[in-house]
Amino acid sequence: MASLLEGQARPIRLADIAKAAGVSHGTASNVFSRPEIVRAEVRERVKAVAEQMGYAGPDPKGRLLRAGKVNAIGVATTEPLSYFFDDPFARVMMAGISEACDATGAGIALVSAANQEKLAWNIQSALVDGFVLFCIEGGSRLVDLTRERRLPFVALELGFQDETVSAIGVDNVAGARLAARHLAELGHRRFAVLSLGFADNRTGFATPEAVRSAVYTGTRDRLAGYFEELSRFGIDTAKIPVYETENEEKSTRAGLEAIFAKGEPPTAILAMSDRMALIAIDWLRARGLNVPGDVSIVGFDGVPDGALATPPLTTIAQPIIEIGRRAARMILDHDGAVRRETMGVEFVVRGSTGPAPKA
């Protein structure tokens, strides 16, 4: 038999063992994928040959092409890959996605890329059945890129209006109002807002025009929620400084500097993310200001870190895990329909908010 001509550089294919065992490809294939339909004797012979030739089992690359389905979902973002393991929000979301995938035995492929071209390529070439998109930043670009793949996808935290895209989000207006009302009821009258972007690549105080022409409607809605509620308490929202950050350390600190450099410092800060809120707590304490004694802060998101901070963060909690689960399931049992889900938020009062100072 032609089985001892070793030194073969190429790995063994199913066809090789079929030949060696003297059966057709079809039968050989069945031995591995539906062993029950092949006669025991033949089955054992083929398996023995496979074993002896060092066959690694049917190559998934080949199987994939025929089967069409990868049985994995891609999770994509414009941030570097480590974002999935570093960022608290992403981590909780991933836990939800993991749960849904575990339940059906699907895999997870992480897709990301610092630079633009690589991102495009990575999305084009990802071996997945669909995508979950983290649209924290540059969301529209990510959506455009993904749409080209013509695979099902869901956008998360998608801050912009596009009814043709499946998305899961939260009720931003309602959440924001809850936060604002809480602070107003505590007697606060001087506010500042740490805002997410209204459009890409911008930081600094947001002008009314910038707000009006917002690309990211999520940001716009949160601000609208804050303002609506504060107006009801007779507060002049036109005077409230709104600082757009990139939701990271540097620009958030810059925002705080700018806000507190102004005439009358705020006694309450509305932060559109827990990340910014946590940075703010840190910044304020370093400045000798007491939280919540001098300044109260409400975050947005409900990441677990918030509960561990000192003081623990009052926040508008999204059902992050549940969003992750649903997103994954939407891809896993995709039916071709465009779905838009809006989840409720929960108001969590902890230690970072208190009555307005007397002064």
Partner DNA sequence: CATTTTTATTGGATCGATTCAAATTCCGCT
Partner DNA sequence: AGCGGAATTTGAATCGATCCAATAAAAATG
**Residues making contact with a copy of itself (CB under 8 A):** 11, 54, 56-57, 60-65, 68, 70-72, 80-82, 84-86, 91-92, 94-95, 98-99, 101-102, 105, 107-114, 118, 121-122, 124-127, 148-151
| For DNA, the closer CB: 69 or 358 | 69
Query: Does 30 contact DNA by CB under 7 A?
Result: yes
Mark 174-203 with x for binding to DNA (rule: CB under 7 A) and - for no binding.
------------------------------
Binding site partner of 208, from DNA, a copy of itself, none, Cβ cut-off 5-8 A by kind? none
Q: Which residues contact 350 (CB under 8 A, 6 or more apart)?
A: 306, 307, 311, 312, 313, 314, 315
Q: How far is the CB of 54 from a copy of itself (least distance, A)?
A: 7
Amino acid at 269: I
- The answer to whether 298 touches 182, Cβ cutoff 8 Å, is yes
Query: Does 38 contact DNA by CB under 7 A?
Result: yes
Binding site partner of 117, from a copy of itself, DNA, none, Cβ cut-off 5-8 A by kind? none
* Dihedral angle sign, alpha carbons of residues 43, 49, 55, 61: negative
Q: How far is the CB of 81 from a copy of itself (least distance, A)?
A: 4
Instruction: Single out the segment in contact with DNA by CB under 7 A; choices: 13-21, 111-119, 207-215, 292-300.
Output: 13-21
Query: Does 67 contact DNA by CB under 7 A?
Result: yes
Closest of 108, 123, 125 to residue 78, by C-alpha: 123
| For DNA, the closer CB: 19 or 91 | 19
Q: Which of 3, 26, 213, 239 binds DNA (CB under 7 A)?
A: 26
Q: How far is the CB of 35 from DNA (least distance, A)?
A: 10
Q: How far is the CB of 73 from a copy of itself (least distance, A)?
A: 11
Instruction: Single out the segment in contact with DNA by CB under 7 A; choices: 6-14, 126-134, 142-150, 339-347.
Output: 6-14
- The answer to whether 344 touches 172, Cβ cutoff 8 Å, is no
Binding site partner of 149, from DNA, a copy of itself, none, Cβ cut-off 5-8 A by kind? a copy of itself
Binding site partner of 257, from DNA, a copy of itself, none, Cβ cut-off 5-8 A by kind? none
How many helical (H) and strand (E) elements, i.e. helices and strands, does the chain have?
Answer: 15, 13
Q: How far is the CB of 106 from DNA (least distance, A)?
A: 18
Alpha helix segments (H runs only) across 128-248: 139-149, 172-185, 208-212, 217-232
Q: Which of 1, 4, 6, 68 binds DNA (CB under 7 A)?
A: 68
| 314: exposed, middle or buried (Cβ count in 10 Å: 0-12, 13-18, 19+) | buried
Query: Does 123 contact DNA by CB under 7 A?
Result: no
Read out DSSP for 43-65? Answer: HHHHHHHHHHHT---S-HHHHHH
Q: Which of 62, 265, 293, 344 binds DNA (CB under 7 A)?
A: 62
Number of Cβ within 10 Å of residue 72's Cβ equals 16
| 216: exposed, middle or buried (Cβ count in 10 Å: 0-12, 13-18, 19+) | buried
What does R_g of the chain's alpha carbons equal in angstroms? Answer: 27
Q: To 5 degrees, how large is the angle CA 282–CA 302–CA 305?
A: 45
- To which residue do tokens 């992050």 refer? 320
Site residues, DNA (CB under 7 A) = 10-11, 13-15, 22-30, 32-34, 37-39, 41-42, 57-59, 61-63, 65-68
